[in-house]
Structure formats: structure tokens, C-alpha cells
């Protein structure tokens, strides 16, 4: 594993599949032109609308999202994370899995994760979210994908960031980079988003790549933005602010080893 550039993309996805994919393609191409070889798209990159609308369109969103990711990976010779899109549950037309997939430069899916922690929360700004009404919770912890080029990559999705045990599981497997794609609410994001990303990076001495949604998507649905890349010491290397776009930063294996020598907390674990 050598040093490389990674990108976290930030979008304001709408309830419009074709428009979202076209915008994602533009941002991917821009990231590639700036040298990115590992690129992450946010949760709901292909469609961000009401849960019932997303469920109705789940089959086509799933098909087009997977085709899109494989096409982008092959065209630009990159590894790409699709940070979350609905995959219908076989035999159950009332639910879909919120699924992230990692696709290599040949267009082959190399890792898949179904979101385990579902966002059923009454947010103090007056919005109520009940992800479990249309999403089937995944049952399995994610495994790392060992990449010779990019290191050991671990997947998660949005609300998972509040559950450190999932990241400890990944670090125990040897994770170097943690993906945390999100559509974090604007209200909670201002207080918790960066702190949680930094905590996950620090406690596991890993890089964190956190693509994000930003702005107003429909009606009262607002997201926080601030797609970030965080280093193993918890330093925010890049922050996208609140505008659509992307951020790029170097992923340096020497930095991982340096931090782990300076703060060998992973070797000092007692309860594993």
C-alpha cells in the first residue's frame, strides 16, 4: 500500500434518480481529474425522497445504482463506494435494505454492507424519522475488504457512527480506512457530526472518509453537509462545508503507523 488520494463527495440529492446520477458522475469525474483513486458517494446518493417513494422505486434505484457504480469504476479506473441505496428484500414488498457496496476498477463488487442501525428518532427540530418503517435492518457486522492498493477498508452507513462497537469490530480485523457515508440531519449534525467522525478515527487510529448529503432535499428534509476526511490522529484534513462538491486528501500508510506507534491503544485493549 502506497500513499494515494481519496475523495469524499457531497451532494444535495433529490427525489430524481436520473438527475442525481448525472450530478454524481460530474463530481466523480472532477475528483478523478484531481487525482483521486478511491472515491466515496454519500448515503442516498441516487435518490433522496420520502421513504415510501424510495420504497416504491427501490427496484429501479437498485438496478441503476449498481450499474452506475460499476460503469464509473471501469470508466475512470477507480475504486468507488456507493454509500447507501435501497435493495428490495426478497419476498417482502414492504421493506428494502439500505445497502452500501464497494466496487473495484474492473467493475466487480468486492464488498457489501446492509445498514444495521436504523434511524428511528424524534429530532428536537420537530422532524420525526422512522427508517425502520420501510427499511429492513441488516443482521451482519461488516467485514473489511483487504486491498493491496488502498489498505484494509471498512464499511458503515450514517447512524452507525453512533455505535462504536461496529468500528471496533472493523479495527480488530485490521481496518486502515473507515467509510462513513451519511445523510446526517442538519439539526444533529451541527453538534455531533465532526465529533463522532473524529472519535471513530482516534479510537481506532484509522482514516475516516465521510461523504455527505447537504442542504434541502424536499419539504423539510435538510442535511448537515461537511463531508470530511479525517486522519488517524483525529485531524480533519478536508471539510466540504455546506456546498455541493467534494473534498480530497492523502491517505498515507506511514501516518497510520506513526500514530499507532505514538498512541498504541489498539495493542492495549483488554476486552476484545
- Give catalytic residue positions: 43, 115, 158
DSSP secondary structure string for all residues of 188-203: HHHHHHHHHHHHHHHH
The arrangement of strands across the sheet holding 145-147 comes to 145-147, 151-154, 177-179, 207-210, 228-230, 236-239
Give 3-state DSSP helix, strand, coil % of the chain, rounded to 5: 30, 35, 35
Contact in structure between 38 and 79 (CB atoms under 8 Å)? yes
Q: How far apart are CA 158 and CA 266, in angstroms?
A: 24
What is the separation, in whole angstroms, between the first and last Cα of the chain? 27
Q: Is 64 helix (H, G, I), strand (E, B) or coil?
A: helix
Helix 164-172 / helix 186-204 crossing angle, nearest 10 deg? 30
Contact in structure between 138 and 103 (CB atoms under 8 Å)? no
* Dihedral (CA of 73, 88, 100, 240) sign: positive
Length of the chain: 272
Grid coordinates representing 86 are: 435501497
Residue 252 CB contacts under 8 Å (≥ 6 apart), including other chains: 3
Under DSSP, the state recorded for 182 is B
Phi, psi angles (nearest 5°) of residue 142 = -75, 150
Amino acid at each position: 500500500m502506497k500513499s494515494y488520494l481519496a475523495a469524499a463527495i457531497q451532494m444535495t440529492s433529490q427525489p430524481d434518480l436520473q438527475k442525481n446520477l448525472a450530478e454524481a458522475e460530474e463530481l466523480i469525474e472532477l475528483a478523478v481529474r484531481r487525482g483521486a483513486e478511491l472515491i466515496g458517494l454519500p448515503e442516498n446518493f441516487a435518490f433522496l425522497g420520502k421513504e415510501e417513494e424510495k420504497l416504491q422505486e427501490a427496484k429501479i434505484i437498485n438496478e441503476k445504482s449498481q450499474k452506475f457504480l460499476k460503469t464509473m469504476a471501469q470508466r475512470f479506473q477507480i475504486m468507488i463506494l456507493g454509500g447507501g441505496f435501497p435493495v428490495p428484500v426478497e419476498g417482502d414488498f414492504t421493506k428494502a435494505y439500505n445497502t452500501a457496496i464497494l466496487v473495484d476498477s474492473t467493475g466487480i463488487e468486492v464488498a457489501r454492507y446492509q445498514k444495521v442501525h436504523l434511524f428511528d428518532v424524534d429530532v428536537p427540530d420537530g422532524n420525526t424519522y422512522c427508517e425502520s418503517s420501510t427499511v429492513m435492518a441488516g443482521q451482519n457486522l461488516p467485514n473489511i475488504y483487504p486491498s493491496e492498493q488502498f489498505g484494509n477498508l471498512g464499511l458503515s452507513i450514517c447512524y452507525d457512527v453512533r455505535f462504536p462497537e461496529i468500528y471496533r469490530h472493523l479495527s480488530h480485523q485490521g481496518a486502515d480506512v473507515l467509510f462513513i457515508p451519511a445523510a446526517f440531519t442538519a439539526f444533529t449534525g451541527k453538534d455531533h457530526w465532526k465529533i463522532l467522525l473524529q472519535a471513530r478515527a482516534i479510537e481506532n487510529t484509522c482514516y475516516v472518509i465521510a461523504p455527505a448529503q447537504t442542504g434541502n432535499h424536499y419539504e423539510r428534509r435538510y442535511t448537515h453537509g461537511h463531508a470530511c476526511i479525517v486522519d488517524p490522529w483525529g485531524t480533519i484534513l478536508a471539510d466540504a462545508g455546506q456546498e455541493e462538491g467534494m473534498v480530497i486528501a492523502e491517505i498515507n500508510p506511514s501516518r497510520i503507523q506513526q500514530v499507532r506507534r505514538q498512541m498504541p491503544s489498539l495493542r492495549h485493549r483488554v476486552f476484545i
